[in-house]
Structure 1
Amino acid sequence: MASKNANKLLVAAIDFGTTFSSWACSFRHDYEREPTKILVREWNSGVGISSKAPTTALIRPDGNTLDAFGYNAEDKYGRLAENDEHKGWYYFRRFKMSLFKDKSLTRKTIIDDEMGKKMAAIKVISLVIRYLKDDLCEQVKLKIAGTLLVEDIQWVLTVPAIWNDKARQFMREAAVEAGINDKQLLIALEPEAASLYCRHIPLELKESGGTSCIVPLSPGTRYIVVDAGGGTIDITIHEVLEDGNVKEIYKATGGAWGGQEVDEAFKQFLIKIFGNPVLQKFKAEAMEDYVGLFRDFEIKKRIVSPNGNEDVTFSIPASLLEIFKDNTGETLSESINQTQFAANVRVLKGNKLRLDQSIMRSFFDRPLRSVCDHLQSFHDDNEKYGISVTLLVGGFAESPMLSGAIREKCSSWKLIVPNDASLTVLKGAVLYGYDQSIIVYRVARYTYGVGLRSDFIDGVHPEENLVVNDEGERKCTNIFDTFLTEGTLVRYDQIVCERTGRFPLETKNDYMNIRIFASTVTDPKFTTNRCCFFLGNLEVTGLDTSIPRSQRKVDFTITYKGTDFHVHATDTRSGRKLNASIDLLD
């Protein structure tokens, strides 16, 4: 398995999150001595230092220049709005989830900023990645004497494991547009990265020779990784092998159940109290106060616990109260008394709002129910999965509400929340950059195949698939030719598809195209079945145009690299290597 990047002096990882983002890196000499010695960027939030910054981008009116990122972007846009100078600017917050929700993602996909202005998603994301890349390089310059060459850096970009193949390619292309060489870029799945980091830290209590010590999880242990981020919760099941490497037991699952759902519930609470027109006007006219209110909630929600009984107090911005009074003519107390919150929410002197714990806990209901129901399906069938440990990681993992709910629903599993749970994905991505082969086996998420024609068989093939070619031959179209079956255990760097001269090519000039499909069932017959969907194109160029089209044939192999398919193609007749790639985006 030639996956170790022995020639890279530095591995640099970018964790592009829904709510927060950051970067981390380590030099090879540090990694070889102490793998967990990893430099993580520190951001000034204005009230303290944070290891992550909000995924917020402020783009100048030219639509091409990122003016500020993170806390600086939030603060500057607030000042621009206060002076009514913001209208030409683009202000994007928490936009990553658009890639997960858009099932027809293309290179031309458009997203809206906070005020509804539109921009190409790939432009916004590439600008943010470029900023993080350049910021990392500037910080690294301060750590060493001499110049670190571009080719000395291995880049790693994290993506949720439950994202589809199109979204992963989209992020790769955004990173390339941001100036990262495609050959020096790895895509790491977020729960896998967290799992790798946890393989290097002590988690399990062992007794030996009358003494106790804490060591990494021992061989044979099966554990479920719950990567709870802002947008999604990714879940995967791993087993520690005898050599310390890792095998995936079940394909990655999960959903849009992250901490952002809690924020959305708080937003809906505000709408019920103040009204949507008031909240929208507040957002448009006092963005700095709007962001500040949600920053305060971000801090307060982390201390909400399943059994807590202390009320939580928020300072309500004067600008919001002024807009509310101008638009409704009511007092805030009058408005609350007309809602279901009358008995649990109070207005205090000094523009403060006090919520009891039952209201705060209710904001967690939807995401906790979703993730716990999903985990319980594994827990109830644990004879099949053999899980003994839950590793809860990610920013949302720091919530006592989430950890408490999982501990209650999956009581037979030992729940572990590592120190710095919000950084496990980022630090694990650095480790992944040094050695991808540690994840030895993965489980195929879908059944994959190529579309082809075969001889038509009466009584077997449907009539609607019958075509007659130029030679008068009766062919059946839309055959699903499977090369990888859903649920199959696949080794890293394994060839999953080999086709030898099987495709009479109908080509234009020196180009051929083979359509790749995926299916949610194990044995699809035709690419037109409801369970199937078009994935993308296997494209080959450099064909010998002196050979008649009907005689051109190509040998190709598809190799599974963990997060990507890689294709190699040769001319069947001559053995000459051809240019080949897989394109999943329009």
Structure 2
Amino acid sequence: MTTSKVLKLMVAAIDFGTTFSSWAFSFKHEYEKDPTKVQTKNWNSGKSISHKAPTTALISSDGKTMEAFGYEAEDRYAELLSDGTHQKWYYFQRFKMSLFENKTLNRQTEIEDINGKTLKALTVFSLVIDYLKRNLVDECKMKITTGEFEEGNIYWVLTVPAIWDDKAKQFMREAAIQAGIGKEHVMIALEPEAASLFCRHIPLRVMSSEVVPLNAGTRYIVIDAGGGTVDITIHEIMEDDKIKELHKATGGAWGGQEVEEAFKRFLIKIFGNHVLQKFKRDAMEDYIDLFRDFEVKKRKIKPDGKEKVVFIIPAKLKEILESEPGETFDKCVSQSGLASDVEVIKGSKLRINSSVMKGFFAKSIKSVVGHVKAFHDSNAYGITVALMVGGFSESSMLVNAVRDACSSWKVVVPDEAGLAVLKGAVIFGHNTTPIAYRVSRHTYGYRTTQAFIEGVHSDEHKVLCDGETLCRNIFNLFLEEGGLVYDGQVFVDRKPFWPNIDGDNFGIEIYASNDKNVRYTTENSCTYLGLLTVDNLDVDVPIEDRFAYVTIKVTNSEVQVEAADPNTGRFMNTSIDFLQ
């Protein structure tokens, strides 16, 4: 069933982030009046209210039940640690990046929790999606009493980074289905595209003054800086008000999480890794509070700021350190090589120079700025505006660095930059047509065998079959890297395929390459993506007449296939499995 046939009285979006996650929704009648009227979740950390919660999952010992999520999971696990009963539980933090980093991702892939215990990644992701889904539904049932809310009328949107591959996209879709969302009621939205749609509906200002219109012909870059990844895409507003992608999505693991990792390396330099790890094991609640405090303070750091930053060092961390022979807090600071920028005050506080705090941003900012500056300096796409969205774009350290490096662009950070993806995903769910064209990130093709042509084909792939000389492993291209793809575009149109053996089904191997001139699927540049399968051919006809017409197209950034049996006129079970 296509998304257009689904009754979307309510659209709900789940932003499954590396560091923070949440949900949002709006009803159809609300969207039609004001697309930006999107309701979001408020999470209570115990000390403040936020629109997102840490992507942290506490799973029971059976490996099947979500006990707590977000701030509650952090607090519950800290209690379990203090009671010494934590070992039987599974505790996962910031595990989304496993999909980006794992090039052999499949349904059996396992991920490790904080203690090295493993569960299937598909189980963990589906439990989180199920939790967020149920949390939204439960709150709606309490708040909405007019009779307009029916769970079956919800259309769900899951956001993913644009730089994710097809395996990871399918993985998220299957996790959603395993979480109880019907396959006709869920779609995948690319995060920078969702953010771009949100920004089309709100005033955009440079430095809180000049309003930047996104009119037809405007070319802009979207810098979606989240906790784990930074996604970068280039868009143009077309005359019909739709969006055209100009360059394939790029980016990397340069998000705000790297700033926290730099802070962790700083603590290790002072206290030593073994002390910090013991502190984490023995006083998890204090460990969590220390990094929550850092999260708050890092958001306040400004490029021109001179203020020193003070951190209260938990008593347990000092106790663990000073239980080491001859070690004291003051001594460790003085011997760390940081004494000129870090001082101990009142025996239990660290006062850090602003230069050290700014240094925590250096690696991440260097990666982001270096990447976007290449687009700025080449001026190949005529970009005039930079939209900075995502939680990390709320940091003036990153924003000012981009402004300084890309001085000819109007750099805009919209209000609620951290919610731009989430709210934009709700808008996208109501109207999936604004993205008219995308750019292919890879060259795609399928493996085939053809008649061998001397001087054209390589002898390496020559085979003799039933008296006929054939060339196998040919890469039959259907989409070239950098090629412009319109939504719903058909690449393979009712092409006949025959089963390899006398049977009622067959598979077509799909490959991708970053080489536009790839010829054989065995080349080093080629990566096997998955198997396109067709089932239930008519077995009552001769084998030479037993085939299927296969169509391959792209809809909403995902590859879709269908197959028809010409002997019966039936459409058959068809799919591309990227997770074999």
Structure 1 residue 535 corresponds to structure 2 residue 536: no
Paired residues of 2:14 and 2:132 also in contact (CA < 8 A): yes
Aligned to 2:62, the other structure's residue is in SS state coil
Deviations 1:416-471 (A, max 9, x none): 000110000000000000111100111111111110000112232222211222x2
* Among 249, 256, 275, the residue aligned to 2:253: 256
Report the equivalent of 1:190: 191
Aligned to 1:22, the other structure's residue is in SS state strand
Deviations 1:94-130 (A, max 9, x none): 1111111111111111111111111111111111100
* Among 321, 324, 349, the residue aligned to 2:321: 324
Structure 1 residue 453 corresponds to structure 2 residue 449: yes
Deviations 1:500-538 (A, max 9, x none): 22x332146322100001110222111111111111111
Paired residues of 1:13 and 1:25 also in contact (CA < 8 A): yes
Structure 1 residue 491 corresponds to structure 2 residue 492: no
Report the equivalent of 1:301: 298
Q: CA deviation at 1:8?
A: 1.3
CA distance in 2, matches of 1:406, 1:250: 19
* Among 370, 391, 416, the residue aligned to 1:420: 416
**Residue type of the alignment partner of 1:475:** L
* Among 389, 393, 403, the residue aligned to 1:397: 393
Q: CA deviation at 1:578?
A: 1.6
CA distance in 1, matches of 2:183, 2:355: 50
**Residue type of the alignment partner of 1:409:** A
Q: CA deviation at 1:549?
A: 3.6
* Among 295, 302, 308, the residue aligned to 1:311: 308
Q: CA deviation at 1:572?
A: 3.6
Q: Given the two structures, how large is their TM-score scaled by the length of structure 2?
A: 0.97
Paired residues of 1:201 and 1:215 also in contact (CA < 8 A): no
- Higher mean displacement: 389-398 or 108-117: 108-117
Deviations 1:214-247 (A, max 9, x none): 5741111111000000000000011111222111
Report the equivalent of 1:442: 438
Report the equivalent of 1:372: 369
CA distance in 1, matches of 2:349, 2:10: 49
Q: CA deviation at 1:550?
A: 4.4
* Among 382, 393, 400, the residue aligned to 1:386: 382
Report the equivalent of 1:24: 24
C-alpha change, 1:376 and 1:51, in structure 2 (3 Å) is same
**Residue type of the alignment partner of 2:128:** V
Aligned to 2:95, the other structure's residue is in SS state coil
Deviations 1:43-74 (A, max 9, x none): 11111110000000011112111111100110
**Residue type of the alignment partner of 2:192:** P
**Residue type of the alignment partner of 2:158:** L
Report the equivalent of 1:523: 517
CA distance in 1, matches of 2:334, 2:557: 53
**Residue type of the alignment partner of 1:529:** E
C-alpha change, 1:144 and 1:489, in structure 2 (3 Å) is farther
Report the equivalent of 2:118: 118
Aligned to 1:385, the other structure's residue is in SS state coil
Aligned to 2:357, the other structure's residue is in SS state helix
Structure 1 residue 580 corresponds to structure 2 residue 558: no
**Residue type of the alignment partner of 2:164:** W
Q: CA deviation at 1:7?
A: 2.6
- Higher mean displacement: 566-575 or 424-433: 566-575
Structure 1 residue 146 corresponds to structure 2 residue 147: yes
C-alpha change, 1:328 and 1:131, in structure 2 (3 Å) is farther
- Higher mean displacement: 391-400 or 145-154: 145-154
Aligned to 1:218, the other structure's residue is in SS state coil
Q: CA deviation at 1:499?
A: 4.6
C-alpha change, 1:312 and 1:255, in structure 2 (3 Å) is same
Structure 1 residue 275 corresponds to structure 2 residue 263: no
CA distance in 2, matches of 1:51, 1:482: 45
Report the equivalent of 1:199: 200
CA distance in 1, matches of 2:343, 2:198: 45
Q: CA deviation at 1:28?
A: 0.7
CA distance in 2, matches of 1:159, 1:498: 29
Paired residues of 1:11 and 1:155 also in contact (CA < 8 A): yes
CA distance in 2, matches of 1:363, 1:302: 12
Q: CA deviation at 1:5?
A: 6.9
Structure 1 residue 545 corresponds to structure 2 residue 542: no
Report the equivalent of 1:84: 84
Report the equivalent of 2:467: 472
Q: CA deviation at 1:358?
A: 1.1
**Residue type of the alignment partner of 2:189:** A
Aligned to 1:437, the other structure's residue is in SS state coil
Q: CA deviation at 1:204?
A: 6.0
Paired residues of 1:505 and 1:550 also in contact (CA < 8 A): no
Aligned to 1:193, the other structure's residue is in SS state helix
Q: CA deviation at 1:3?
A: 6.1
CA distance in 2, matches of 1:475, 1:549: 20
Q: Across the two proteins, how many residue pairs are aligned to each other? A: 576
- Match runs of 1:210-359 below 5 Å: 214=211, 216-359=213-356
C-alpha change, 1:535 and 1:421, in structure 2 (3 Å) is same
Aligned to 1:244, the other structure's residue is in SS state coil
Deviations 1:257-298 (A, max 9, x none): 000011111111111111111111111111111111111111
Structure 1 residue 554 corresponds to structure 2 residue 555: no
CA distance in 1, matches of 2:325, 2:411: 49
Deviations 1:283-338 (A, max 9, x none): 11111111111111111111112111111111111111111111353112211222
C-alpha change, 1:87 and 1:585, in structure 2 (3 Å) is same
**Residue type of the alignment partner of 1:117:** K
- Match runs of 1:4-83 below 5 Å: 7-83=7-83
CA distance in 1, matches of 2:552, 2:485: 13
Aligned to 2:299, the other structure's residue is in SS state helix
CA distance in 1, matches of 2:368, 2:509: 36
Deviations 1:185-220 (A, max 9, x none): 010000000000001112269xxxxxx995741111
C-alpha change, 1:71 and 1:265, in structure 2 (3 Å) is same
CA distance in 2, matches of 1:372, 1:341: 27
**Residue type of the alignment partner of 1:426:** L
- Higher mean displacement: 459-468 or 144-153: 144-153
CA distance in 1, matches of 2:563, 2:384: 44
Report the equivalent of 1:96: 96
CA distance in 1, matches of 2:205, 2:146: 40
RMSD: 1.6
Report the equivalent of 1:107: 107
**Residue type of the alignment partner of 1:525:** R
- Higher mean displacement: 122-131 or 329-338: 329-338
Q: CA deviation at 1:574?
A: 4.2
Paired residues of 1:201 and 1:216 also in contact (CA < 8 A): no
C-alpha change, 1:23 and 1:216, in structure 2 (3 Å) is farther
CA distance in 1, matches of 2:182, 2:174: 10
Aligned to 2:129, the other structure's residue is in SS state helix
Paired residues of 2:388 and 2:413 also in contact (CA < 8 A): yes
Aligned to 1:242, the other structure's residue is in SS state coil
C-alpha change, 1:130 and 1:548, in structure 2 (3 Å) is same
Aligned to 1:533, the other structure's residue is in SS state strand
Deviations 1:324-361 (A, max 9, x none): 11135311221122222121111111511111011111
Q: CA deviation at 1:85?
A: 1.5
Q: CA deviation at 1:475?
A: 1.1
C-alpha change, 1:519 and 1:152, in structure 2 (3 Å) is same
Gap regions ≥5 residues in structure 2:
none
